[in-house]
Amino acid sequence: MHPNTVHYRLRRIADLTGLDASRPADLPTLHAALTCRTLHHPHTTSPDTTLPA
């Protein structure tokens, strides 16, 4: 995955949720959200389906 794609997606997550992966206090919440998503959508492995455009 291209670094710009990672930066874009992290900014998009911050815009949508108000959570910032660079803030240590937000990491447990982000981790829990990703874990829940994986549990609810176990067969969704493509990185292109992580966030809506």
* pLDDT tens figures, 22-48: 999 999 999 999 999 898 887 765 555
For the whole model, what pTM was predicted?
A: 0.65
In whole angstroms, what is the distance from residue 7 CA to residue 3 CA?
6
In whole angstroms, what is the distance from residue 1 CA to residue 23 CA?
23
Q: What is the pLDDT of residue 47?
A: 55
